[in-house]
């Protein structure tokens, strides 16, 4: 400051200097004189010094890089980058943000950074595009930054102006040019040539030349493994893009309420498992050439009114199933064979007389077998399982004659007695279906129930049938007519999951889930007999099959505790009760058609018992 004072000092004589202090004020470059009358206005005349004294040391100070105000936007001197990147000196402003300095930007070695508002996905898109293609969009200026040539090729535009041309901050399409076809992504590797290409349309900035690429498929050099892999991919792609299947959508709609209780639905690619069979006897024919399915000599069907008695004890146990036994049935007419269906997915035929051994095993279901039924002559039988397949078996050879599925779970299946090529089954989608084994096609559909149908029972000389469902109703149908002829639904009725007709066809016994057995008369008209109600057993939600004695004198049934109950059919009085099965219900029960006191029972303990 002393130097400046020396150059631009004041020569006023009116200022006094304290004693002992020397004044070094130089002569001012601007002198003034005062003139005027005493006590009046004064006139001050200034004289200008056109050649003031300048200290040489001042030039050194002015050439030294000074401090730059943080808010300045221009630089009049070329300063070093270290100076620009140095921290701001002096006290901090209490109300100023960091970005308010240096014109609202952050300086960096390669330029400056400033705030911008943009979506996160847009930032990542431009970031990766710049690193991959060398260009990005400038959202602030509205143009393209970087390699514009790549951008033009990417967009299919011609770029006669070169790889870095930007017109007014934007990439524009030259007048008279047309969009070219998209350029293949597969380019020849190497540096683009810069020499003059003469008469070529694009000039020195021509795009990279395409190199013809011939795949192994075009050249025909695929290996067997590659061909197999391509075929598998094509099959999966075709399966994925197949058209809409209405049946699959109906499956989801019909079974959505009980889907947690049913096995997985089939798709269009589901196929049945390979059926197998095994004979367990000494030979399929005896020394006389008779088949093992023929009844023993002298055993003939008799009338159903022969005398019957209550069984007293268990005389035999059949063991061989790996899991519980769901259903059993005697051979029609003679009862010399016993058919059983198990939760292990197999069906077995046992001999009732002689050694009482296992005769043949039929394996064809991947899930538990739900229902079985012999044809009227016993030469064939059908089985339905929770794998949603119905199979027709030859009893003697064990051959699977036919397999049918409509992707529904069959809960009950019965041959149509007048024509054993037809059968009807109750399904999990609230319907009943009639199929023809010879053609494998559906003949009739019965759809009036509101829940899964559990049973099918023929009556009135097999011209009509009754069906029961989880909707607590019983419907009566004429054969091959899809409209029910009678609804039976009373406020006190419960679901009846097991129904058995009497041998004479006069009555139908229905196992009701209110722990009772209700009897319907079907002699003149189908009606509930309110006085014939059998009580004393606990069903607990199980579909325990009731059974009539051949002369209609006794009614028998299992219960949910594994016990066997007998009643007098005439007066509904309980007669006997036995402990039959452990660890589960006594689910199936049948009375022998010829023997006076033989009863067969099965349970979920895997045993089949004969009682006499």
Q: What is the pLDDT of residue 181?
A: 42
Both tokens assigned to 344: 């292990």
When mean pLDDT is compared across 58-67, 119-128, 317-326, the lowest value belongs to 58-67
In this predicted model, which residue has the larger pLDDT, 254 or 541?
A: 541
- CA dist 534 and 569 (Å) reads 9
Report yes or no: 384 and 432 within 8 Å, Cβ to Cβ.
Answer: no
Tokens read off for 604: 């979920």
Kindly report, residue by residue over 177-217, the tens digit of the pLDDT.
444 444 444 444 444 444 444 545 555 566 666 777 778 77
The predicted pLDDT at position 26 comes to 45
Cα 262 from Cα 404, distance rounded (Å): 18
For residue 477, the cross-strand partners are 465
Q: What is the pLDDT of residue 106?
A: 60
Token readout for 78 is 């070329």
Query: Is the pLDDT score of 224 beyond 50?
Result: yes
Q: Quick one: pLDDT at residue 541? A: 86
The mean per-residue pLDDT over the stretch 505-523 comes to 93
Tell me the C-alpha distance between 165 and 157, whole Å.
13
What whole-number distance in Å separates Cα of residue 26 and Cα of residue 14? 15
Q: Using CA atoms, how far apart are residues 446 and 461, in angstroms rounded to an integer?
A: 20
pLDDT digits (tens, 9 = 90+) for 52-111: 776 666 555 555 555 667 677 777 777 777 777 777 666 776 766 554 444 445 656 556
Q: What is the pLDDT of residue 192?
A: 45
Read off the tokens for 227: 């061909």
Give residue-wise pLDDT tens across range 250-289. 665 555 555 556 666 666 667 788 999 999 988 888 888 8
Topology (CATH) of 276-284+304-611:
Methylamine Dehydrogenase; Chain H (2.130.10)
Which residues fall within 8 angstroms of residue 25, CB to CB, at 6 or more apart?
Answer: 5, 9, 10, 11
Query: How many CB atoms neighbour CB 612 within 10 A?
Result: 16
Tokens read off for 24: 């070094």
| pLDDT given for residue 350 in this prediction | 95
Q: Which helix (H) or strand (E) holds 129?
A: helix 120-133
Higher pLDDT, 341 or 86: 341
Higher per-residue pLDDT: 37 or 392: 392
Q: What is the CA radius of gyration of the chain?
A: 52
Strand, helix or coil for residue 248: helix
Structure tokens at 288: 């006389």
d(CA 340, CA 432): 24
Cβ atoms within 10 Å, residue 56 = 7
- The total number of residues shown for the chain amounts to 612
Q: What is the mean pLDDT of the chain?
A: 79
Q: Which residue would you say has higher pLDDT here, 137 or 302?
A: 137
In this prediction, residue 514 has a pLDDT band, given cuts at 50, 70 and 90, of very high
User: Would you say 586 and 580 are in contact if contact means Cβ atoms under 8 Å apart?
Assistant: yes
Chain-centroid distance of CA 21 in Å reads 101
How far apart (Å, rounded) are the C-alpha atoms in residues 512 and 496? 5
Domain ranges of the chain: 1-13+23-63, 124-167, 276-284+304-611
The proportion of the chain whose per-residue pLDDT surpasses 70, expressed as a percent, equals 70
Measure CA 81 to chain center: 61
Range 446-466 average pLDDT: 92
334, pLDDT greater than 80: yes
DSSP at 81: H
Local confidence band at 176 (pLDDT 50, 70, 90 cut-offs): very low
- The answer on pLDDT for 317 being more than 80 is yes
Measured over the CA atoms of residue 523, residue 528, residue 530 and residue 532, the dihedral's sign is positive
Q: How many CB atoms lie within 10 A of CB 135?
A: 22
CA atoms of 230 and 236, how far apart (whole Å): 10
User: What pLDDT score does 459 carry?
Assistant: 92
**Sheet strand arrangement including 464-469:** 453-459, 464-469, 474-478, 486-488
Contacts of 578 (CB under 8 A, 6+ apart): 563, 564, 611
Of 80 and 228, the structure prediction assigns the larger pLDDT to: 228
What is the Cα–Cα distance from 489 to 449, expressed in whole angstroms? 12
pLDDT over threshold 50, residue 36:
yes
Write the pLDDT tens digit of every residue in 346-401: 999 999 988 899 999 999 999 999 999 999 999 999 999 998 899 999 999 999 99
């Amino acid at each position: 400051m002393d130097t400046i004072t020396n150059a631009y000092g004041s020569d006023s004589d009116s200022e006094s200097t304290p004693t002992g202090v020397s004044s070094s004020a130089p002569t001012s470059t601007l002198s003034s004189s005062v003139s005027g009358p005493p006590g009046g206005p004064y006139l001050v005349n200034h004289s200008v010094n056109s050649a003031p004294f300048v200290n040489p040391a001042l030039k050194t100070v002015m050439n030294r890089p000074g401090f730059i105000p943080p808010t300045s936007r221009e630089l009049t001197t070329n300063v070093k980058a270290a100076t620009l990147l140095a921290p701001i000196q002096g006290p901090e402003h209490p109300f100023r943000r960091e970005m308010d300095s240096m014109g609202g930007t952050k300086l960096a070695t390669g330029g400056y950074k400033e705030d911008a508002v943009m979506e996160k996905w847009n930032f990542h898109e431009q970031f990766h595009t710049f690193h991959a293609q060398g260009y990005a969009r400038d959202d602030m200026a509205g143009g393209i930054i970087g390699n514009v040539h790549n951008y033009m090729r990417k967009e299919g535009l011609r770029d006669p102006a070169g790889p870095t041309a930007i017109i007014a901050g934007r990439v524009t399409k030259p007048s008279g040019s047309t969009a070219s076809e998209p350029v293949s992504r597969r380019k020849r590797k190497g540096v683009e040539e810069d020499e003059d290409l003469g008469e070529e349309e694009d000039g020195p900035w021509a795009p990279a030349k395409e190199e013809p690429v011939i795949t192994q498929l075009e050249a025909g050099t695929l290996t067997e493994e590659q061909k197999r892999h391509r075929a598998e991919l094509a099959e999966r792609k075709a399966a994925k893009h197949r058209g809409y299947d209405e049946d699959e959508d109906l499956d989801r709609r019909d079974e959505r309420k009980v889907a947690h209780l049913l096995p997985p639905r089939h798709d269009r690619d589901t196929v049945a498992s390979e059926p197998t069979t095994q004979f367990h006897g000494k030979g399929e024919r005896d020394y006389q050439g008779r088949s093992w399915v023929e009844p023993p000599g002298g055993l003939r069907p008799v009338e159903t009114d022969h005398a019957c008695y209550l069984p007293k004890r268990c005389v035999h146990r059949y063991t061989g199933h790996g899991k519980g036994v769901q259903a059993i049935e005697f051979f029609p007419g003679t009862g010399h064979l016993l058919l059983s269906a198990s939760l292990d997915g197999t069906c077995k035929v046992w001999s009732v007389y002689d050694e009482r051994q296992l005769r043949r095993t039929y394996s064809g279901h991947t899930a538990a077998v739900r229902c079985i039924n012999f044809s009227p002559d016993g030469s064939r039988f059908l089985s339905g399982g929770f794998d949603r397949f119905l199979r027709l078996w030859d009893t003697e050879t064990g051959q699977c004659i036919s397999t049918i599925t409509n992707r529904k779970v069959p809960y009950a299946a019965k041959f149509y007695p007048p024509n054993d090529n037809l059968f009807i089954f109750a399904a999990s989608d609230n319907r009943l279906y009639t199929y023809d084994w010879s053609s494998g096609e559906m003949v009739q559909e019965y759809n009036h129930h509101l829940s899964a149908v559990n049973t099918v029972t023929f009556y009135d000389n097999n011209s009509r049938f009754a069906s029961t469902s989880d909707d607590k109703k019983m419907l009566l149908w004429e054969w091959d007519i899809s409209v029910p002829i009678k609804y039976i639904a009373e406020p006190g009725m419960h679901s009846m999951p097991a129904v058995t007709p009497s041998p004479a066809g006069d009555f139908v016994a229905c196992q009701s889930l209110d722990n009772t057995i209700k009897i319907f008369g079907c002699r003149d008209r189908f009606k509930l007999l309110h006085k014939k109600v059998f009580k004393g057993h606990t069903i607990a939600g199980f579909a325990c099959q009731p059974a009539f004695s051949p002369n209609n004198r006794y009614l028998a049934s299992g219960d949910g505790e594994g016990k066997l109950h007998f009643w007098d059919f005439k007066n509904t009085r309980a007669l006997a009760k036995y402990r039959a099965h452990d660890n589960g219900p006594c689910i199936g029960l049948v009375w022998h058609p010829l023997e006076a006191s033989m009863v067969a029972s099965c349970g979920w303990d895997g045993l089949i018992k004969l009682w006499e």
